[in-house]
A and B are shown apart, each in its own frame.
Chain A
């Protein structure tokens, strides 16, 4: 946290010295993005707070913890593939899940499928690449995400 404050202040000062107008434009852009994403972040936090309250930690750990096995990966990959959550919202959500016992490898599968696989956006992708190509790219990315999760689960314990 201290590190982030220091980096932000230094970046602002350096940027301001180099170009005042550009810095102001950048700050405005950042705050605008923040204001636009804030309601979505708060509502996701609300929903997850409620769901976590009614899901015992043991259940979460059993199904999505480090010993959940292949089924855990499949659940994470499936949810990641069909969700349209922006990354900016997904990371705080992932942080919450980690604190409640979900394993890093499961989170890796979720984040990777969320960003690389988009089942709902396949029609959009197909308009540029064709249907078959879009399907193949999504299937390969899905498998790639599972592999990444499995490798992380091995490397994490080292």
Chain B
């Protein structure tokens, strides 16, 4: 609990200040304050509080059932198209920010993944993670999520091919820490 408060100190400060501001707005009939609370904040938070606990339960379940180890076994055995598909699948099962993927890409590189496939992994990691997609569909709708996903796949594959061509002649290596 103590470390939780310490980590979240900035957020907790914002929340408490806001609560006090709203309280004063009601006491002194300050309309911008009550409007911010009723028209904006309450409406947004109401929807989220129904969505989020369920979403997170699903993400937790997903995390324990996702067959990450099984897929990792395939990495490196094939550096062609099949290897790229395995990379995308592996990336989709991850969670977290992009900078968490850099150390992983070093490990995959050591396991024999090609440079092109490493950049495909980074692209898929940043845009196709299943937990993120579930949030995207929940808040922005299936149409948006489908369109964005379909357009993003060729974009990050092209980026990976460009990177591969550029680095091929330059004796490129991924460094560990």
Supposing A49-B44, A98-B140, A115-B127 touch, asked if A125 and B151 sit within 8 A by C-beta, the answer is no
- Docked Cα-Cα span, A30 to B172, in Å, equals 39
Number of A-B pairs, beta carbon distance below 8 Å: 204
Within 8 A of A (CB), among B37-75: 37, 39-41, 44-45, 47-48, 50-65
CB of B61 within 8 A of CB of A27, answer yes
CB of A41 within 8 A of CB of B52, answer yes
CB of A7 within 8 A of CB of B140, answer no
- Is A137 an interface residue, CB under 8 A from the partner? yes
- Docked Cα-Cα span, A96 to B67, in Å, equals 34
Output the least CB separation between B167 and chain A (Å).
7
- Docked Cα-Cα span, A128 to B122, in Å, equals 13
The interface size of chain A toward B, counting residues with CB under 8 Å, comes to 73
CB of A45 within 8 A of CB of B132, answer no
CB of B64 within 8 A of CB of A26, answer yes
- Is B36 an interface residue, CB under 8 A from the partner? yes
Interface of B is mostly: helix
- Is B8 an interface residue, CB under 8 A from the partner? yes
Residues of B within 8 A of A67 (CB): none
Q: How large is the interface on B (under 10, 10 to 19, 20 to 34, 35 or more residues)?
A: 35 or more
Nearest A residue (CB) for B97: A86
- Docked Cα-Cα span, A60 to B156, in Å, equals 30
CB of B64 within 8 A of CB of A127, answer no
- Is A17 an interface residue, CB under 8 A from the partner? no
CB of A29 within 8 A of CB of B99, answer no
- Docked Cα-Cα span, A126 to B131, in Å, equals 27
- Is B76 an interface residue, CB under 8 A from the partner? no
CB of B15 within 8 A of CB of A49, answer no
Supposing A104-B144, A112-B152, A144-B156 touch, asked if A45 and B54 sit within 8 A by C-beta, the answer is no
Within 8 A of A (CB), among B112-133: 119, 122-123, 126-127, 129, 131-132
Interface residues of A (CB under 8 A from B): 1, 4-5, 7-8, 11-12, 15, 22-23, 25-36, 38-43, 45-50, 52-53, 84, 86-88, 91-92, 94-96, 98, 104, 107-108, 111-112, 115-116, 118, 121, 124-125, 127-130, 133, 136-137, 140-141, 144, 147-148, 151-152, 155-156
CB pairs A–B below 8 angstroms (30 shown): A12-B57, A23-B64, A26-B63, A28-B60, A30-B56, A33-B56, A34-B52, A34-B56, A36-B4, A39-B8, A39-B15, A43-B10, A46-B14, A46-B15, A49-B37, A53-B35, A91-B140, A95-B139, A104-B144, A107-B140, A115-B132, A116-B123, A121-B98, A125-B99, A128-B177, A133-B172, A137-B122, A137-B163, A141-B126, A144-B159
